[in-house]
A and B are shown apart, each in its own frame.
Chain A
């Protein structure tokens, strides 16, 4: 069989019906274009979330008090008072795999400075907290161990707090702000981190020595949690195991007892978020895939119409010596040409759309090579699959009937 000639014949047939061929392609163009754009958007979101998470510190380990049962009554984990200063100090002195450890207590209330006020919360932390959370002091200085020891009434504040309490643009360093009647002296301003991917303002933060928050504001002896960072990301698992061992010993838990605390790592969080965004990507890809399917059905539909319309032509071709298989291959080539050309245009359109979204809407997009290859392969298969049945029908025509078809 002469495929070159059949290819020429198919090309000519399409060229004779440019508008129709283009409209048929449109289904595939939209299908492929949307598959690529959707996957790029989904992947872009995932990448940006991953970047945010590692920006928060990829090796963060968070220890929270666990839920417990006292005489059959389940207690709220945040009410648990199991994490104490002593636990923190043991962790700090004994842990080999930890680069930094800091307690974590929060108190919420109203911040007041002069005639400005702002609702926020004060985070009681150790000096290492800023390195764990990858924060940086832009102006002034972080409080010191001495401040912790003396429960000093000092604080380090974020940009949002500065903007709200000092709207005139005055230098906040050295000023006194009041939090629930406790006056705190601003000794440092943190570098701005902006919003994170979950929409939380990372600059809405007031850091104070944990002793100050515990003793002067809340009058408690336990923490809300302990933050730590492992020496490196791949040591997170060792560090977690180490913390678990130490805390179980400190809390005098028997082997049969379950942990009265929970340890969560940033990795878990990122895995959890990945699952969510993967689901999102899959959903988007499914919707796009459906439009590709609809495009394929469009091809089948048009091929049917085209074959009915060209019955006489098929009859003529058969009478001058085209075999059934020649007719079959000709119409298959036509269908595949439509779908593959549509696919290529769709890929170009999808990539253009991605770039446009990136520059105009500033959404994170990330074009996946596999999505391009996949959608191209799917188009070709679509062309063959949906072209086959009409082409078969054409090939099975009887030349005598086809020639007489009116």
Chain B
């Protein structure tokens, strides 16, 4: 077993809506070690978005402790958490969230812009490396509106990789893509997993669990299942077995 990247201890998160208190998370505990590919599943209202926000240091739990790479997050200030996100976390969103009218390289450079320790030459080099890693070496100067959905998501993944994070958080990263492209992206995640990256993939699509190494299921703020996947399917095989697109 590698290092503990994420350690959640009895995490609770309450929201006050009007007069009522909504318990979004009612005591969630788990540990994720380096190199795991975890899917977090659940229907809407199960608390998975809240959990994602807490894991991503965008939100803090009402009670319980969260250690990211050994660092306690709950007591941190807003700007400390921002810096922590900058160094330790890579986000991949469902709707890509690329900057408009901006080239792929510039989009990927974005997290490093907020890290004063990195020179502009270093930033450029790392952004280009990350784009090569996601297979977009030939699209570096393309602007976001000149790319397909799959390409945009690859840019977003490159952006999540560029700061060499402790964990990559993907929020329904294949949700906006067609089946073929979804598997292409899954292949990319599996490749990153095989290279030793820690990935957390939040989704409501049960199929994706087959391709990850571990699956956590949430319902009503509780974990109802936490299982290791002994037979990980290869996204590449699935992709090959798909009927070829008639347009191609």
Contact = CB atoms under 8 A, between A and B. Distances in A.
Interface in B114-157: 114-116
A131 to B, nearest CB: 75
A324 B79 contact: yes
A78 interface: no
Contacts of B87: 321
B114 A326 contact: yes
Contacts of A2: 113-116
B86 A321 contact: yes
A312 B59 CA distance: 17
A182 B136 CA distance: 107
Interface string A1-33: 110010011001000100000000000000000
A400 interface: yes
B159 interface: yes
A16 B58 CA distance: 28
A187 B91 CA distance: 101
Interface residues of B, number: 27
A318 B82 contact: yes
Interface string A182-207: 00000000000000000000000000
Nearest to A1: B116
Contacts of A312: 97
A16 B83 contact: no
B114 A319 contact: no
Contacts of A326: 82, 114
A404 to B, nearest CB: 9
A320 B159 contact: yes
Contacts of A137: none
B99 A319 contact: no
A118 B83 CA distance: 90
Nearest to A5: B113
Interface string A298-322: 0000000000000011011111111
Interface residues of A, number: 24
Contacts of A315: 97
Contacts of B114: 2, 5, 317, 320-323, 326
A399 B79 contact: no
Interface string B90-112: 01010001011110001000110
B79 A323 contact: yes
Contacts of A5: 113-114, 116
A400 B53 contact: yes
Contacts of B59: 400
A316 B97 contact: yes
A353 interface: no
B99 to A, nearest CB: 6
A313 B91 CA distance: 14
Interface of A: 1-2, 5, 8-9, 12, 16, 312-313, 315-326, 399-400, 403
Interface of B: 53, 56, 58-59, 78-79, 82-83, 85-87, 91, 93, 97, 99-102, 106, 110-111, 113-116, 159, 163
**The 10 residue pairs across chains A and B that have the minimum distance between CB atoms:** A321-B86, A2-B116, A323-B79, A320-B111, A323-B82, A321-B114, A5-B113, A316-B97, A16-B101, A321-B85
28 contacts: A2-B116, A5-B113, A5-B116, A8-B113, A16-B100, A16-B102, A312-B97, A316-B93, A316-B97, A316-B99, A317-B110, A317-B114, A319-B85, A320-B159, A320-B163, A321-B83, A321-B85, A321-B87, A321-B111, A321-B115, A321-B163, A322-B114, A323-B114, A324-B79, A326-B82, A326-B114, A399-B58, A400-B53
Given A9-B113, A319-B58, A320-B163, 7 more contacts: A8-B113, A16-B100, A316-B110, A320-B85, A321-B86, A321-B87, A403-B93
